[in-house]
Homo-oligomer: A and B are copies of this chain.
């Protein structure tokens, strides 16, 4: 009677907790998008009945909130930047990177207030280097403006990326040549400026365009921080 004959103890699954649930949900979402996350599938992945989850989570939306906070752990920079501009920039870029790793994040970004511990830590890290550079209201406006920008920019980038994947064409080529609806519309002559822009514009990669817009916004913030409040 060797080890091989003896059956393994029935591998009692690790005790359930929020962390394991959230991890399973994130994995599912990474693989198949947000819509692939169902409580039944999450439970199945943990070898557990669906109803078990309700001991740790009271609704599916709550699970989504936890998932968002979970990726904020990846967003939090390992070393706290000392300069305000760097802090805001890092927040933006790390959020974007997280969204490229977890595309479903784009669907949730900005959809509800993010108040989990990791999200608060990120906010703190972003806010700290701004402290004292202007009155609190201006500081608040600064981080809100920047985060509005990158929330919107990330959403659009992911939306375009999905559209490209679905059609197999880059956005510009698609608008220009193939998109049957769009090209017909442009051909009507009702949108002359748009047609011109689509025709003459060069294709810029998403990261550059994200970064460029971000620096513009950061410039605007800089102008308000250095000037004393009105």
In Å, the complex CA distance between A162 and B113 comes to: 9
- Nearest-Cβ distance from residue A213 to partner chain B, whole angstroms: 4
- Nearest-Cβ distance from residue A122 to partner chain B, whole angstroms: 10
Q: Are B127 and A194 in contact (CB under 8 A)?
A: yes
> Which residues of B have CB within 8 Å of A124?
190-194
Among B123, B163, B197, B224, the residue within 8 A (CB) of A113 is B163
A137 at the interface (CB under 8 A from B): yes
Asked whether A144 and B194 contact (CB < 8 A) given A113-B163, A151-B151, the answer is no
How big is chain A's contact interface, by range? 35 or more
A153 at the interface (CB under 8 A from B): yes
A202 at the interface (CB under 8 A from B): yes
Number of this chain's copies in the complex: 2
In Å, the complex CA distance between A147 and B200 comes to: 21
In Å, the complex CA distance between A121 and B186 comes to: 10
Asked whether A117 and B185 contact (CB < 8 A) given A163-B112, A191-B123, A220-B220, the answer is yes
A46 at the interface (CB under 8 A from B): no
Q: Are A145 and B149 in contact (CB under 8 A)?
A: yes
- Nearest-Cβ distance from residue A173 to partner chain B, whole angstroms: 14
Interface positions of A (Cβ within 8 A of B) = 107, 109-113, 115, 117, 120-121, 123-124, 127-128, 130-131, 136-137, 139-141, 144-145, 147-153, 155-156, 159-160, 162-163, 171, 179, 181-182, 185, 190-194, 196-197, 200-202, 204, 209, 212-213, 216-217, 219-221, 223-224
A204 nearest CB neighbor, chain B only: B137
- Nearest-Cβ distance from residue A29 to partner chain B, whole angstroms: 16
Extra inter-chain contacts (19) besides given A128-B192, A216-B223, CB under 8 Å: A110-B156, A110-B159, A111-B159, A112-B163, A113-B163, A115-B179, A120-B191, A130-B193, A137-B204, A139-B197, A144-B156, A144-B209, A145-B216, A148-B149, A148-B153, A149-B149, A216-B220, A216-B221, A217-B220
> Which residues of B have CB within 8 Å of A140?
197, 201
- Nearest-Cβ distance from residue A162 to partner chain B, whole angstroms: 7
In Å, the complex CA distance between A220 and B219 comes to: 7
In Å, the complex CA distance between A84 and B109 comes to: 29
Q: Are B136 and A213 in contact (CB under 8 A)?
A: no
